[in-house]
Structure 1
Amino acid sequence: MRDIPVLETARLRLRVRTADDAEALFPTLSDPVAMTYWSHAPFETVAAVRARFAEPFVTWRAWAITRHGSDTAIGFVAVGDKREGKVSEIGYMIDRAHGGAGLAREAVARVIDQLFVAEGQRRVFADTDPDNVRSNALLQSLGFTLEGRLRAEWETHIGVRDTFLWGLLATEWKTR
């Protein structure tokens, strides 16, 4: 497993997500609207979030998104290492109260910089629900290409769902 370095942007500090972030992120992770397009149902208790966050990272890394001057998590970016570390899957969530200000985009872009520039990865991909307009727009704004639609890919708490596969290559990121 790779290290999870502290990353900085103009407005944000990204640090390792820990079980202690459960309380701060529970309102989002228990919100049926925020969790609509996740592959699992909203969490029912802070203890359940704490237990999930306490699980050891094996193939995934997770950064808590915080604002400068505060250590309280307002979201996270998670990265799953695939194909011997040259390809990663990325996922993210930000508290709805902090949505619309470009913070998720800023955090995801910083993690992508880490993956491509510092770690030398060749590809990052994401999968999203086709109806998740905000997430699909975020990926498109970062230069991801919609590579395909997998029909009936996920069985979720809202039923069987299709998924969009988005991809971004290091060469595309470096030319932005």
Structure 2
Amino acid sequence: MVPVRLTGPRLALREYRHTPEEVDALHALYGDPEVTRYLPFEPRDRETCADQIELYLEEAMAEERGVYRLAVVRREDAGDAGDAGDLEDALPVAHAALTLGEYRSARLGYVLSRPVWGRGYAGEIAVLLCEFSFGALGLHRLAARVDVENTASAKVLTRLGFRLEGRVRHDLYKGGAWRDSYRYSLLADEWSGPPAPRPGAGQGREAGQGG
């Protein structure tokens, strides 16, 4: 399915573009040690980020697309109208991903840049991915991996109805140490749409969980 564009109240998810500005935006995300703290890789340099966008575009054009890696932009950065052309010009502030698996399943992931932490964007991204997965893609199961120390991301998933399946010990070796993770899942018949806004929602770190 190409191109993909998912629009929420404040954010939009769209395909990446291989431009210098977009590479810089991805590097601002993946080059930040704080942002990559819970990700399965060390901070990346700009050249690697350029290669990543090239890979994302190749994946998007696959005959049978199995991976959706999407740029997350703010609708306010696209102007009042937020139409298709304006959304292309807005620079990414986060990254969203779906990796399809067997039996109508997928793994969900998102990463947010530090300037937009604490605004509730992670929840909106996850909602858009859930709606896309259980709607247009017709999936049955979504899964997510969360570092055991990433409490903000765990709260986002729990609030959307994801259930904790268990803890995986030493599933990642990074920075000279082994790390554990939690596994969460959500089934299509458990998805009831986005939860009602809560007073004070959007507070927290929201560093992301990969993808």
Q: Normalising by structure 1, what TM-score?
A: 0.91
Q: Distance in 1 between matches of 2:18 and 2:7?
A: 21
The aligned residue for residue 24 of structure 1 is 25
Q: Distance in 2 between matches of 1:91 and 1:59?
A: 14
Q: Residue 60 of structure 1 is aligned with which of 67, 72, 75?
A: 67
The aligned residue for residue 14 of structure 2 is 15
Q: Residue 92 of structure 2 is aligned with which of 73, 98, 117?
A: 73
Residue-pair matches, total = 173
Q: Distance in 2 between matches of 1:9 and 1:42?
A: 29
Q: Normalising by structure 2, what TM-score?
A: 0.76
Q: Which runs of 4+ in 1 moved over 3 A?
A: none
Bigger Rg, structure 1 or 2? 2
The amino acid of 1:144's aligned partner reads F
Q: Distance in 2 between matches of 1:145 and 1:29?
A: 28
The aligned residue for residue 5 of structure 2 is 6
Q: Residue 156 of structure 2 is aligned with which of 138, 147, 161?
A: 138
- SS of match in other structure, 1:50: helix
Q: CA RMSD in A?
A: 1.7
The amino acid of 2:111's aligned partner reads M
95-104 or 149-158, which moves further after superposition? 149-158
| Superposed CA offset, 1:107-138 (max 9, x none) | 22111101102221100000011011111111
Structure 1 pair 144/156, CA: closer, same or farther in 2 (3 Å)?
same
The aligned residue for residue 130 of structure 2 is 112
Q: Distance in 2 between matches of 1:29 and 1:116?
A: 28
**How big is the shift at 1:4?**
4.5
86-95 or 149-158, which moves further after superposition? 149-158
Does the CA-based 8 Å contact 1:26-1:49 persist in structure 2?
Answer: yes
Q: Distance in 2 between matches of 1:32 and 1:154?
A: 17
Give 5+ residue unaligned stretches, structure 1.
none
Does the CA-based 8 Å contact 1:127-1:164 persist in structure 2?
Answer: yes
Give 5+ residue unaligned stretches, structure 2.
60-64, 79-89, 195-211
Q: Distance in 1 between matches of 2:191 and 2:6?
A: 18
Does the CA-based 8 Å contact 1:40-1:157 persist in structure 2?
Answer: no
Structure 1 pair 144/54, CA: closer, same or farther in 2 (3 Å)?
same
Structure 1 pair 4/128, CA: closer, same or farther in 2 (3 Å)?
farther
Larger RCO, structures 1/2 (Cα 8 Å, 6+ apart): 2
The amino acid of 1:147's aligned partner reads E
**How big is the shift at 1:79?**
0.5
Q: Distance in 2 between matches of 1:139 and 1:4?
A: 26
